[in-house]
Structure 1
Amino acid sequence: MEKLTVVVAFLLLTSLFQPLTARNLEIDVFQLDVSQSGCPGVTKDTWPELLGVPAKLARETIQKENPRLTNIPNVLNGSPVTEDFRCDRVRLFVNVLDFVVQTPRVT
């Protein structure tokens, strides 16, 4: 039982450091300019201010700023995702504690 407690504590501690390191390590390999993509009604395509906030609050903020963005799923950071582009989707990459660890953007 003591080993399980240590493992759980370790996992919780490591997940707390992920938002801090994700800000420094985030590398944009492929960046799509939404204004050139022809998405009607999308006035803002990235939300860097939402890094480190709970996913629920991030989702509410994005929907409040742009109601046309209706598909806002939580994705565990590091999980594979499709590369198709949709004007109504913003993926929230989260850690195990459900905090945003990558800049949300229209994808």
Structure 2
Amino acid sequence: MEKLAYIVALLLLASLFQPLTARDLEINVLQLDVSQSDCPGVTKDTWPELLGVPATLARQTIQNENSNITNVPSILNGSPVTTDFRCDRVRLFVNVLDFVVQTPRVG
């Protein structure tokens, strides 16, 4: 029973540590220079304030701030994605604990 308590404590500590370090680990392999004029009706195209935030809260925030964004999937960081650009999509790259680890952006 004592080992179980240690494991639970370790998992809780790990869940608190990961969102704090997500900002330091962000790697953007491909950055698209998207100006607001490329997507009509899009008033905001990046959300750097959502790093380290749970995906459900990030999704709600993005959709509340921009009603033109209708597609906000959660994708495990490092998973392959298509390279097509869509003005109605913001991908949320998350870790295994479902926290955002890359700056969400339109595309």
Fold in common (TM above 0.5): yes
Question: 1:8-27 counterparts in 2 under 5 A?
Answer: 16-27=16-27
4+ runs deviating over 6 angstroms: 5-12
Number of residue pairs matched by the alignment: 107
- Cα 1:25–1:34 change in 2 (3 A) is same
Shift of 1:31: 1.9
What is the TM-score normalised by the length of structure 2?
0.79
Structure 2: gaps spanning 5 or more residues: none
Correspondence for 1:38 = 38
Question: RMSD in angstroms over aligned alpha carbons?
Answer: 2.5
What is the TM-score normalised by the length of structure 1?
0.79
CA distance in 2, matches of 1:8, 1:37: 49
Correspondence for 2:88 = 88
Matched to 1:99, the amino acid is: F
Q: State the secondary structure of the residue aligned to 2:35.
A: helix
Calculate percent identity across the aligned residue pairs: 81
Q: State the secondary structure of the residue aligned to 1:64.
A: helix
